[in-house]
Amino acid sequence: MTEPQLTWLAWGGWRLRIPSNWRPLDIENARDKGRVVVGTNEVAGLQVKWWTPEKRFDPAAWGMRRARAIGAGAKLRAGPRPPGFTETVRVRRKGAKPEENMLFWFGFARAARLAVELIVNAGTLDAADLRLLVRHGLPSLRARAPDTATGWSVFDTSFESPPGFFLVERRLNLGDMCLVFRAPNRTRMSLRQVYPASLALARRPIEKWLRDTPFKEYRRYKPAGETEPWQIASFARSLRGWKRRGRKRLSWPLGACAPRVTLTAAAHDEQLDRLLFAEYDAGREYDEAAVAQALGRMNWARFDRAG
């Protein structure tokens, strides 16, 4: 029996499998809430909404309240209860026309303090895609455990941010994907993939790629030493890499104000033909182990079947 054609979609502390021919159509996110819409070029198939509720949140009452708000034609049914989710509610609404049929699912991950709402455009989806989503996609939903790394996966590119970091900037261009994260102590980590690597390295050497940044910088970067070779462990493989230390300072006369130390690193994934980049930017010292971990876990959605 062939394996269903599914891929991981992950954002903001949750992940689930979707048909591999789907792609993100819209992404909105803040620190504790957001919305992602995915589908094909012809139709939006699934909307995922999530947020971190207040401490007095009643998940059972919330689920039933949302079910009643759906209105006439709505029927409560037993639905999937993914591991970690409690008080789940599944509602199927039959519209006046077949294309107006909708499927709703509400669930609360108590340990992760995450409320998730899934809306499926059941009436407009291809029958095969709908079957994949209902039988395999919805049951695969997982929420990030507290104080663990967060997975991110869109457009066949995946990253993993360290515990305690939240997303502050993103650039999702095919061939150049970058996410920037920040911790409460203002430490920053940027994760980036450029592909195909063969074309990128033909345009400029790795030393120049290490100096490149996709976002505007207010501090001037000054390297501290030469670029060093580095080996990165990644899913039972060893990737050839490079690292370089440096400092960032504001322009004169503010150069002495809040200087930063940085570790910029890159790895060449020849199997996927991608350049992988990570930069750790901190007030006093950088975390080399966190940089190595972030580089090694890039593209986890391809290698880690359990996600």
Same CATH fold assignment for domains 6-143 and 150-303: yes
Note whether 231 and 239 are within 8 A (CB). yes
**Domain definitions of the chain by residue range:** 6-143, 150-303
Over pLDDT 70: what percentage of the chain?
91
Mean pLDDT of 252-281: 85
**Using one digit for the tens of pLDDT, what is the confidence trace for 188-223?**
999 999 999 999 999 999 989 988 888 777 667 777
DSSP annotation of 29: E
CATH code of the region 150-303: 3.40.1000.10
Q: Which helix (H) or strand (E) holds 76?
A: strand 74-77
First CA to last CA across the chain, in angstroms?
A: 22
Residue 1 reports pLDDT greater than 50? no
What is the number of alpha carbons within 13 Å of residue 276 lying toward its C-beta? 29
Token pair recorded at residue 135:
């039988």
CATH superfamily of 6-143: Mog1/PsbP, alpha/beta/alpha sandwich (3.40.1000.10)
- Looking at residue 72, what is its pLDDT? 55
- Phi and psi of 68, rounded to 5°? -65, -30
Assign 133 to helix, strand or coil: helix
Of 130-139, 204-213, 291-300, where does the model show the most confidence? 291-300
**Using one digit for the tens of pLDDT, what is the confidence trace for 96-111?**
787 888 999 999 999 9
Q: Which helix (H) or strand (E) holds 62?
A: helix 59-69
